[in-house]
Amino acid sequence: MKFLCDVHISYKIVRYLRGSGFETIHINEILNKWYTKDGDICTYADKNDFIVLTKDADFRNSFFISNTPRKLVKVNLGNISTSVLIEVISGNLQAIQNLNSNGGFLIELDQNSATFIKKEK
C-alpha cells in the first residue's frame, strides 16, 4: 500500500506510515512541492497507484466529479493533534488495505467514525 500525503498532512504522519512498512511520500518531496496543483497530484497518484491522504475537500469533489484520485483518504478532523490523527489512521489501516486491493475508494475519517465509499473499477 502506498500513500501520497498532501501539503497539510504532517511529516509525522509520513514517518508513522513509513515506519509501519508503507511506501509513503509527501507532496513536498516530489513534483512542484507545495506549489503542485491538485490535478497534478491526482494524476501522479493514479499513475503510480498511490492513495492520496488529505484534508482538502477539493480532492473529495474531484473524486466524485472526475473520478480522480481513484484512491482517497479524506481527513475531516480539523486542527487536532498529530497523535490523535495517527490513532485514527492506525485504527483504519486494515479497512484501507482491504479497499485498496479492490479498486477505487474514498474513506472519510472523523475522530469517532469512518465513512467508506467504494467505486467500481
Please report, for the domain that includes residue 37, its CATH number: 3.40.50
pLDDT of the residue at 68: 96
Alpha helices in 48-115 (DSSP H): 57-66, 82-100
Beta bridge partners of 71: 105
Pairing of strands 71-75, 23-26: unpaired
Q: Domain containing 102: what range?
A: 2-118
Question: What does the pLDDT profile of the chain (121 residues) look like in tens digits?
Answer: 999 999 999 999 999 999 999 999 999 998 788 788 999 999 999 999 999 999 999 999 999 999 999 999 999 987 788 898 899 999 999 989 988 887 899 999 987 888 888 876 5
Phi, psi of 84 (to 5 degrees): -70, -40
pLDDT of the residue at 81: 85
C-alpha–C-alpha distance, residues 38 and 42, integer Å: 6
Total structural domains within the chain:
1
